[in-house]
């Protein structure tokens, strides 16, 4: 690869959901991108994640994919835990006030098709085994199917290579944390009796079980028995799954025909940094946590949405000073918050100490969270409640997520489909000019006087009340060059 091409190329390592979204975004923005994947090409039907939250659906909507994904599963509006604690997702201020239950492979299929159509170069059976970087680029050692190692060079590399990330190791970052659940099982089964709800969850005594409908006749069962914690490689059979499910849910719904049974343990870990020089980490390579709350895939997709437009801006030469650094300052605290909240849920579910059991009893007795606590929990679980740090003195909306507001020409998440910033201006503003490759100008459908500069990932970059044209121009220059 010659120097010029290298300068404009990004290599994404790992074709899980995080890598697929990121690579697709970069290619859509016109950046040459290669996706390296160590496995042969095959999207597994043995899904891990099965819950897609509101903020992820909004990001998919901004890419024209949400409606297609919605057609693959069922939605639920109420989440229940510890018998009586309920969260009503129906009150979310989002176009998607629910949780979509669909297997992870449906998300991957959609993202892969989009990435291919956008021109991503896919290289399967390509395992990253080494990495070096210098001031101008990054060199990867990639082992192919025949065992030979070739060198590939790029301007930037993103390690979206999961839990055991080779990229993370190669840039010298550790992955500190603890094991939160020592022994869980997973099974995909058919049921003779159909559960009343799309998602059924309960814990009783030492057992916990959850059943989710994939909507195509298959059900995911996840559970544990605190009195039977064994290593991941101890064989598991359907009788054990049935037994734990009956103890936790009162019935096993006539489970049969398991297509997949597996044991695993769940860790809680986060890389201390998400970037070293020209190399970034995203998704499970950067953070992993318990499956409680269904946050892993969702958080990885949000990482990708945050990083992709910044990398595109850097490669295309219009990124303001410091923009790439904001990936870590924005996403690392979110990763930490997700670790804390999903870990908290698991600790309550597994409560053994009298103090924790008392907290759980109190939470259950209250039944429904109210006011700010409820809003905070809903915002965290759905992902719509996160905001990014704003500079001192900035407008109060800076850094917040923008909902799908009505515009004269349609709605915001349609306007974001170009992958550009969207300026929602109260007056006719003619400043798009030379920036039309990275800016769309829209008007409010209402007579609102706020000017909002919305980033490609749907967060406010800048806002002002009734600004004059010079102020808008200054903001555009600061953010878009």
Ligand X SMILES: Cc1cc2nc3c(=O)[nH]c(=O)nc-3n(C[C@H](O)[C@H](O)[C@H](O)COP(=O)(O)OP(=O)(O)OC[C@H]3O[C@@H](n4cnc5c(N)ncnc54)[C@H](O)[C@@H]3O)c2cc1C
Q: Given the rule CB under 6 A, which residues bind ligand X?
A: 13-19, 36-39, 48-51, 104, 127-128, 160-162, 166, 186, 222, 264, 283-284, 291, 294-298, 300
Q: How far is the CB of 68 from ligand X (least distance, A)?
A: 18
> Is the CB of 14 or the CB of 431 nearer to ligand X?
14
* Residue 210 to residues 162, 245, 289, Cα–Cα distance (Å): 25, 8, 18
Rounded to whole angstroms, the Cα distance separating 24 from 46 reads 23
> Is the CB of 13 or the CB of 349 nearer to ligand X?
13
Task: Name the one residue in this structure whose structure tokens are 């007795």.
Answer: 365
| Residues facing 179 on adjacent strands | 267
* Residue 64 to residues 346, 382, 481, Cα–Cα distance (Å): 35, 20, 27
> Is the CB of 104 or the CB of 225 nearer to ligand X?
104
Best CA proximity match to 60, nearest among 12, 31, 20, 103: 20
> Is the CB of 283 or the CB of 385 nearer to ligand X?
283
Q: How far is the CB of 346 from ligand X (least distance, A)?
A: 12
> Is the CB of 106 or the CB of 442 nearer to ligand X?
106
> Is the CB of 126 or the CB of 398 nearer to ligand X?
126
Q: How far is the CB of 390 from ligand X (least distance, A)?
A: 27
> Is the CB of 289 or the CB of 310 nearer to ligand X?
289
Rounded to whole angstroms, the Cα distance separating 298 from 16 reads 12
Rounded to whole angstroms, the Cα distance separating 481 from 166 reads 36
> Is the CB of 202 or the CB of 290 nearer to ligand X?
290
Q: How far is the CB of 329 from ligand X (least distance, A)?
A: 20
> Is the CB of 359 or the CB of 377 nearer to ligand X?
377
Cβ-contact 397, 455 below 8 angstroms:
no
Q: How far is the CB of 102 from ligand X (least distance, A)?
A: 10
> Is the CB of 141 or the CB of 206 nearer to ligand X?
141
End-to-end C-alpha distance for the chain, whole angstroms: 29
Q: How far is the CB of 159 from ligand X (least distance, A)?
A: 8
* Residue 456 to residues 387, 420, 422, Cα–Cα distance (Å): 15, 5, 7
Q: How far is the CB of 79 from ligand X (least distance, A)?
A: 12
CB neighbourhood size of 347 (10 A): 18
Structural element, H or E, at residue 165:
none
Structure tokens at 134: 């210098």
Q: How far is the CB of 18 from ligand X (least distance, A)?
A: 3
Rounded to whole angstroms, the Cα distance separating 81 from 300 reads 24
Q: How far is the CB of 410 from ligand X (least distance, A)?
A: 29
Rounded to whole angstroms, the Cα distance separating 222 from 212 reads 9
Q: Kindly provide the residue ranges of all beta strands, DSSP E only, lying in 255-370, ordered along the sequence.
A: 256-270, 275-276, 279-281, 287-288
Rounded to whole angstroms, the Cα distance separating 443 from 424 reads 5
What are the phi and psi torsion angles at 480 (to 5°)?
A: -125, 0
Q: How far is the CB of 300 from ligand X (least distance, A)?
A: 4
Q: How far is the CB of 156 from ligand X (least distance, A)?
A: 16
Q: How far is the CB of 14 from ligand X (least distance, A)?
A: 3
Starting from the edge strand earliest in sequence, which strands make up the sheet with 51-52, in order?
Answer: 51-52, 99-101, 74-76
Cβ-contact 115, 17 below 8 angstroms:
no
> Is the CB of 17 or the CB of 431 nearer to ligand X?
17
DSSP category for residue 120: P
Alpha helix positions (H), 350-468: 354-366, 371-382, 412-415
Task: Name the one residue in this structure whose structure tokens are 């749907």.
Answer: 458
Helices 54-61 and 296-316: crossing angle, nearest 10°? Answer: 30
> Is the CB of 13 or the CB of 453 nearer to ligand X?
13
109, with CB counted inside 10 A (0-12, 13-18, 19+), is middle
């Amino acid at each position: 690869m010659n120097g010029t091409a290298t300068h404009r190329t990004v290599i994404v390592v790992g074709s899980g959901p995080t890598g697929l979204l990121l690579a697709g975004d970069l290619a859509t923005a016109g950046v040459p991108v290669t996706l390296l994947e160590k496995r042969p090409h095959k999207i597994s039907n043995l899904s891990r994640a099965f819950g897609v939250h509101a903020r992820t659906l909004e990001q998919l909507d901004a890419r024209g994919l949400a409606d297609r994904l919605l057609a693959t599963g069922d939605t639920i509006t109420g989440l229940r835990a510890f018998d009586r604690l309920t969260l009503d997702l129906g009150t979310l201020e989002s176009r998607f006030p629910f949780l979509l239950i669909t297997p992870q492979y449906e998300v991957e299929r959609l993202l892969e098709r989009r990435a291919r159509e956008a021109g991503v170069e896919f290289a399967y059976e390509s395992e990253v085994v080494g990495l070096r970087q210098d001031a101008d680029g990054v060199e990867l050692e990639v082992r192919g199917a025949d065992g030979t190692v070739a060198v590939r060079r790029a301007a930037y590399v993103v390690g979206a290579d999961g839990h055991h990330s080779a990229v993370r190791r190669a840039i010298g970052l550790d992955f500190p944390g603890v094991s939160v659940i020592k022994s869980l099982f997973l099974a995909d089964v058919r049921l003779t009796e159909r559960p009343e709800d799309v998602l059924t969850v309960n814990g009783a005594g030492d057992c916990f079980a959850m059943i989710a409908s994939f909507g195509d006749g298959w059900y995911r069962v996840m559970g544990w028995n605190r009195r039977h914690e064994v290593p991941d490689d101890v064989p598991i059979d359907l009788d054990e799954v049935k037994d734990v499910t009956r103890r936790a849910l009162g019935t096993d719904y006539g489970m049969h025909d398991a297509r997949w049974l597996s044991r695993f343990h769940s860790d809680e870990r986060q890389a201390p940094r998400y970037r070293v020089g020209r190399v970034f980490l995203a998704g499970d390579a950067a953070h992993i946590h318990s499956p409680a709350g269904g946050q892993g895939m969702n958080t990885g997709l949000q990482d990708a949405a945050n990083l992709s437009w910044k990398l595109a801006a850097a490669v295309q030469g219009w990124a303001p000073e410091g923009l790439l650094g904001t990936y870590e300052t924005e996403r690392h605290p979110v990763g930490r918050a997700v670790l804390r909240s999903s870990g908290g849920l698991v600790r309550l579910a597994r409560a053994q100490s009298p103090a924790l059991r008392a907290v759980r009893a109190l939470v259950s007795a209250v039944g429904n969270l109210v006011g700010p606590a409820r809003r905070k929990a809903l915002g965290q679980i759905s992902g719509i409640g996160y905001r990014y740090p704003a500079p001192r003195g900035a407008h109060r909306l800076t850094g917040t997520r923008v909902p799908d507001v009505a515009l004269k020409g349609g709605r915001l998440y349609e306007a974001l489909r170009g992958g550009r910033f969207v300026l929602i201006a109260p007056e006719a503003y003619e400043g798009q000019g030379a920036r039309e490759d990275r800016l769309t100008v829209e008007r409010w459908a209402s007579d609102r006087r706020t000017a909002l500069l919305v980033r490609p990932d749907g967060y406010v970059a800048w806002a002002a009340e009734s600004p004059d044209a010079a102020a808008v121009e200054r903001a555009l220059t600061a953010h878009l060059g």
